[in-house]
Homo-oligomer: A and B are copies of this chain.
Amino acid sequence: METIIKQLEKVKLRKPILVEGLPGIGNVGRVAAGYLVSEMKMKKFAELYSPHFLPLVIIHDDSVSHVLKNEFYYCKSKNRDIIILTGDTQSISPEGHYEICEKILAFAQKLGVSDIITLGGFAEGRVVEEPRVIGSVNDKKLLKIYEKYGIDFGKEHSIGTIVGASGLLLGLGKLYNIDGVCLMGETIGLPLVTDPKAADKVLQVLAKILGIKVDLSRLEKTIKEMEERIKKTDKIHKKILQEMPKPKEDIRYIG
């Protein structure tokens, strides 16, 4: 099985910009993307399924279950239409990250996307009073465009890498001639702990870039509502290791 993107609705978008917010450090990207989807009343138009996700379904409170997936939402906007990519999970294998990001980029290209904004958290390893939004771009020319939005472009921190979709969509995006910027909200970086403050800062910058108005007053409340489902997903991995009859070890040997 290959990673597949199932389009639910044919859409015609004007100069669309793709914003990615998937689970990661502090859940910053996922929470920010989820809040936008809800505040902008965006509409889902495509779903992504992958054999590189954990092989399981999540059961909702109404006893209906669905297999892990990523989702594409869109809305019309004044200047440019907006696509948001969010979802339950990221690849659990390195190769899977590459395959999934390639599928996303090919799909984005088909939709006419020429710009990507990826959202994430940057683990500081300590409590951050006033989280900055740290940025990285996949082309030097973009620094000029983005530095007016209050993004911190690498003067006072020593971040070295971006792992997963937020990084690869930038790096591989270059091969698709898609410009990319990654916005990372500073956060303590504890596993399984959502950081609303960092998400708030990222959303402020993002709204400025997209030229939209977002009422952030409901963010903390929305996050609390999302927490239940987020926790379910976050606990999946731990659960698997505990619940499973007998974690299978891989057989590798030189005999």
A40 an interface residue at 8 Å Cβ cutoff? no
A245 contacts B63, CB within 8 Å? no
A128 to nearest B CB, angstroms? 15
Which residue of B has the minimal Cβ distance to A6?
Answer: B175
Question: From residue A30, how far is it (CB to closest CB) to chain B in Å?
Answer: 8
* Chain A 114-152 near chain B by CB (<8 Å), digits 1 or 0: 000000000101000000000111111001000000000
Query: How big is the A interface, by class?
Result: 35 or more
Are A135 and B63 in contact (CB-based, < 8 A)? Answer: yes
Bound CA span A171–B59, Å: 10
What residues on B are CB-neighbors of A234 within 8 Å? 245-246, 254
Q: Which residues of B lie under 8 Å from residue A255 when comparing CB positions?
A: 22-25, 27, 30, 55-56, 89-90, 164, 244-245
Chain A 89-123, CB-CB to B under 8 Å as 1, else 0, gives 11111111111011000000000000000000001
Binds B, one of A64-72, A77-85, A216-224: A64-72
Task: Verify A254–B175 contact, CB threshold 8 A.
Answer: no
